[in-house]
Structure 1
Amino acid sequence: MLPRGVLSGVTTTVSGTEFAIRDAERSDLLAVFRIEKASFPQPWPFQAFERFLDAPGFLVAERGGTIVGYVVADSVPNHGRAIGHVKDFAVHPDHRGVGIGTSLLQRTLAELAMQGVHIVKLEVRETNDAAISLYRQLGFTHRRTVPRYYANGEDALIMVYEA
């Protein structure tokens, strides 16, 4: 990922909705955690977000002074080439469907590509049709299914993007 702040705070307008994507800050964590809890049946603990706070792949979308979405991503070496991983991603339910999630993921993919990372993976609940549709629109493909991946026994789809 790029050093923190390199592309931070660029204002974007999609479908008449103006928002900025920037690096997450400590003051954003409570809002991020609230979005996490509103989005997932088994949310990450607050401390997980604290651990990623200084990582360059922790971005937030801000609309009118309110955090409305976030993404946590990184890359790891894998047999001589880095592979990106979207670890967590959500948009507040009241702000979905206006392009914020698409923009957050496009920004993440672009930053990873600028670091030479051209393969990115993520896990998604097999029942999360809206997310699966978004990922497919961005070029992710289903590679495999991991049975009982989630704590409630639900399967995960492993989806991969190759630039």
Structure 2
Amino acid sequence: MTTTPSEATDAGPTVRQVERADLLEVYRIEQSVFPQPWPFEAFERFLDEPGFMVAEASGDDGSVIAGYVVADLTPNFGRDIGHVKDLAVREQFRGLGLGRLLLRHALASLEARGATATRLEVRATNDPAIALYRDHGFEHRRTVPRYYADGENALVMVRERG
């Protein structure tokens, strides 16, 4: 299925909790965006996480899943930590603010559930994602050498709840 953003996007994209019926499209986005995509089963494991959300946007074929975010909460001795595990937007929907929208919703979900900080890992060469995270208050805390299967380093970024 080839989908491009519709000219008539007056209503704008919406973010909602993922449903089982969305998983194949989420997986297809994952495969198209990341060089080492997660397996389908990983998304099934996160299905009930409140921080697993999709962005729907208008396309040529009607409403389509344009992106998603996976975030969860880890109890940590009274200082619960949020973790943005995965965030992706279909290539044809990039530049429309969907990544920002998804990240804002994930952060709000984590903070509503008690996260005092949120962390994530990002490829050291992914400048657009790093800029997005910095715009949302994330700071580079450390670098993990050879974090990814292809040997690329990861930046660990953290946002303290303000």
When normalised by structure 2's length, the TM-score is 0.88
Gaps of at least 5 residues in structure 2 are 1-8
Shift of 1:22: 0.3
SS at match of 1:55: coil
Sequence identity percentage: 60
Does the C-alpha gap of structure 1 residues 18 and 151 become closer, same or farther in structure 2, counting only changes over 3 Å?
Answer: same
Answer yes or no: is 1:44 the counterpart of 2:27: no
Is the 1:21–1:104 contact (alpha carbons within 8 Å) kept by the matching residues of 2? yes
Over aligned residue pairs, what C-alpha RMSD do you find?
1.4
SS at match of 2:24: helix
Instruction: Give the number of aligned pairs.
Output: 149
The CA deviation string for residues 65-122 of structure 1, in whole angstroms up to 9 with x for no partner, is 1000000101111232100000111111111111111011111111211122120000
Residue number in structure 1 paired with 2:152: 154
When normalised by structure 1's length, the TM-score is 0.87
SS at match of 2:114: coil
Is the 1:42–1:151 contact (alpha carbons within 8 Å) kept by the matching residues of 2? yes
Is the 2:50–2:109 contact (alpha carbons within 8 Å) kept by the matching residues of 1? no
CA distance in 1, matches of 2:159, 2:50: 20
Larger strand proportion of the pair? 1
User: Equivalences for 1:106-117 in 2 at 5 Å?
Assistant: 106-117=104-115
The CA deviation string for residues 45-68 of structure 1, in whole angstroms up to 9 with x for no partner, is 011111111221110000121000
CA distance in 1, matches of 2:88, 2:111: 21
Runs of 4 or more above 2 Å deviation: none
Is the 1:58–1:71 contact (alpha carbons within 8 Å) kept by the matching residues of 2? yes
Residue number in structure 2 paired with 1:28: 22
